[in-house]
Amino acid sequence: MSLLRPDLAVIAANVAPGSRVLDVGCGDGTLMQALRDEKQCDARGMELDPANVGKCVAKGLSVIQGDADRDLAFYPDKSVDYAILSQTLQTTMRPDMVLEELLRIGRRAFVSFPNFAHWRVRLSLLWGGRMPVTRLLPVAWYETPNIHHLTVDDFRALVKERGITVEGCWFLSGDTQCSSAAANFRAEHAVFQLSRG
């Protein structure tokens, strides 16, 4: 697989070849391009930022400009094999509704997000008393797109409450996978594969 951000590499490794994929919040299309070129997937995307839409189109990718909070309603039920939301859930107005839409549109969904309960984040708040700026959360609180600061345990509680099946989960510390033991404390990022079992 081409060089991908670690959470995207986990997702790409677990998407079946030849699948139909919708990447919501697809950024510059890096994941879609890898899935198209290396796994022969029919990859489509939705992206809010017009500059990123342009980058995707320049790569020959099928992307529309849209907002996950409003525009997922226009997609038919079970129209893709996988609906993917990578590093975007925490930026949506209603993450719970977006998650429901992903599972309506896709037979399965992948969701990745930064874990705001990682020990470095906790330590920064405890000792510094300020919202952290880290390698993986590189901007100050007033310029971040993150409006919901969720944790691994918050997400686990949400999917349990909604009756969503967790088919797989991966936890990342830096650029490497770590075990699920104490993931809420140890993992900087999480990736979940979900379905409506």
Domain boundaries, the chain: 6-195
How many whole angstroms separate alpha carbon 164 and alpha carbon 39?
27
Q: What is the pLDDT of residues 98-135, one digit of tens each?
A: 999 999 999 999 999 999 888 888 888 888 887 777 77
Q: What is the pLDDT of residues 10-27, one digit of tens each?
A: 999 999 999 999 999 999
How many whole angstroms separate alpha carbon 177 and alpha carbon 44?
27
Assigned token pair, 82:
């996988």
How confident is residue 1, by pLDDT bands cut at 50, 70 and 90?
Answer: low
User: Percentage of residues in the chain with pLDDT exceeding 70?
Assistant: 98
User: Percentage of residues in the chain with pLDDT exceeding 90?
Assistant: 79
* CATH 3.40.50.150 given to domain 6-195: yes
How many whole angstroms separate alpha carbon 34 and alpha carbon 1?
7
Q: What is 81-132 written as a DSSP string? A: EEEEEES-GGGSS-HHHHHHHHHHHEEEEEEEEE-TTSHHHHHIIIII-S--
pLDDT score recorded for residue 2? 66
Q: Which backbone phi and psi does 105 adopt, to 5 degrees?
A: -75, -40
- Most confident stretch, 43-52, 125-134, 139-148: 43-52
pLDDT score recorded for residue 118? 87
